[in-house]
Homo-oligomer: A and B are copies of this chain.
Amino acid sequence: MNFDFSDDLKLLRDQTRKFLREHSPTKSARRILDGEAPYDAALWRRVAELGWLGAAIPEEYGGIGLGYEGLCVLAEELGMAVSPIPFSSSIYLAAEAILAAGSEAQKQAYLPKLAAGERIACFALAEGPGNPNPTRIMATVEGGKLSGVKLPVADGGIADMAVVAARSEGKVGLFLVELATPGVTRETLKTIDPSRDHAKLGFDQVPAEPLGPADGWPIVRRVLDRAAILFAFEQVGGAGACLDMARNYALERHAFGRPIGSFQAIKHKLADVYIATELARSNAYYGAWALASDAAELPLAAAAARVSAIEAFHLAAKENIQTHGGMGFTWAFDCHLYYRRAKQLALAIGSAPYWKDRLVDELERRNER
């Protein structure tokens, strides 16, 4: 039995944590939240220099070939630090889509730049209310030109290029689009988590290059499944950060002459947060194994990891505020950074009802085999 990260990866985790504590303290997220910039460009550059963006990208495409377990380790730490960078959009989603569906030429053309952080890509799937489903896709590519509206698009305001799900000749597929092109409009959206950029992207006859087969929905699903595991690690990291904050506050804050952490109401609340976080962590680990080994169980593992992680981070973030009492719901305290991020991550790539439904689909499929 070897169901834990290797000593090397644990060392990476420690280094990552130390690095992010220095270069991505919560005030970095707060600057973005307060609208000073759409993302932390300095942090992005540093992260790129460390090779993190190419952690799971093969060396022939400019990555460092650390592998997916390594990427999971990084994701957990980024979640813990509520880092305000377009990592998930550019790497978990766009780069993965190109890896999964791109031609050799496309991989050569795009991946090295994404791995180097020279270019930022976003993943444009949603078109307003709805969970991932081909019937929701109305954006259309005709004669190589994309028209339609995508919203919300995470990091759509800062990306150089987009991987766009669009309809062409009745089928939904993926397309690569340069965003610095006439016909592209971008509008920043106000969202629950302003520490991450979100945009409404309009396309009017914009050149679009096919990425993978015309019937690309299976690839979309595969990309979402794989991303779900990486998102789960971010969420587990966030939940763990909330639990730490809450525990520390409960030890330090006194009421009625004793630390509030000595009251069972707080103790049992935090025990429940611990339980949810550990369950989510274990489900995420299984996802990491499935991701790294590209196992047949990946879709089921991904759904389980995501459902568990959504629940844990939601619980941890809201009860962290509750443990902090009055200070918890002030803008000045950091609790809300995590509360916002918990919901942002819970909705990106599809909300809990979608993933629960997917999970049972996969159970049915498993039983039919």
The quantity of this chain's copies bound in the complex is 2
Q: How far is the CB of A95 from chain B (nearest CB, A)?
A: 44
Interface string of A274-305 (1 = CB under 8 A from B): 00000000000000000000000000000000
- Residue A367 interfacial (CB < 8 Å): no
Inter-chain CA distance A274–B268, complex, in Å, is 20
- Residue A333 interfacial (CB < 8 Å): no
Q: Interface size for chain A: under 10, 10 to 19, 20 to 34, or 35 or more residues?
A: under 10
- Residue A265 interfacial (CB < 8 Å): yes
Determine the chain B residues whose CB is within 8 A of the CB of A263 once the complex forms. Answer: 264
With CB as the reference atom, state the residue of chain B lying closest to A264. B264
Q: How far is the CB of A323 from chain B (nearest CB, A)?
A: 14
Determine the chain B residues whose CB is within 8 A of the CB of A265 once the complex forms. Answer: 264, 268
A228-274 CB contacts (< 8 Å) to partner B: 263-265, 268
Inter-chain CA distance A264–B256, complex, in Å, is 14
Q: How far is the CB of A267 from chain B (nearest CB, A)?
A: 9
Determine the chain B residues whose CB is within 8 A of the CB of A268 once the complex forms. Answer: 264-265
Inter-chain CA distance A11–B268, complex, in Å, is 43
Inter-chain CA distance A263–B265, complex, in Å, is 9
Inter-chain CA distance A216–B261, complex, in Å, is 61
Q: How far is the CB of A322 from chain B (nearest CB, A)?
A: 13
Inter-chain CA distance A264–B262, complex, in Å, is 11
Inter-chain CA distance A265–B267, complex, in Å, is 9
Inter-chain CA distance A264–B261, complex, in Å, is 12
Inter-chain CA distance A265–B265, complex, in Å, is 7
Q: How far is the CB of A174 from chain B (nearest CB, A)?
A: 39
Inter-chain CA distance A177–B189, complex, in Å, is 68
Q: How far is the CB of A35 from chain B (nearest CB, A)?
A: 41
Q: How far is the CB of A343 from chain B (nearest CB, A)?
A: 26
A31-82 CB contacts (< 8 Å) to partner B: none
Inter-chain CA distance A268–B268, complex, in Å, is 11
Inter-chain CA distance A263–B263, complex, in Å, is 9
Inter-chain CA distance A265–B269, complex, in Å, is 10
Determine the chain B residues whose CB is within 8 A of the CB of A264 once the complex forms. Answer: 263-265, 268
Inter-chain CA distance A268–B267, complex, in Å, is 13
Inter-chain CA distance A268–B263, complex, in Å, is 12
Inter-chain CA distance A333–B268, complex, in Å, is 28
Q: How far is the CB of A334 from chain B (nearest CB, A)?
A: 27
Inter-chain CA distance A265–B264, complex, in Å, is 6
Inter-chain CA distance A236–B263, complex, in Å, is 31
Inter-chain CA distance A240–B265, complex, in Å, is 24
Inter-chain CA distance A265–B263, complex, in Å, is 9
Q: How far is the CB of A250 from chain B (nearest CB, A)?
A: 14
Q: Show 5 A/B contacts (Cβ-Cβ < 8 Å), sorted by A.
A: A263-B264, A264-B264, A264-B265, A264-B268, A265-B268
Q: Which 3 A-B pairs have the closest CB atoms?
A: A264-B264, A264-B265, A263-B264
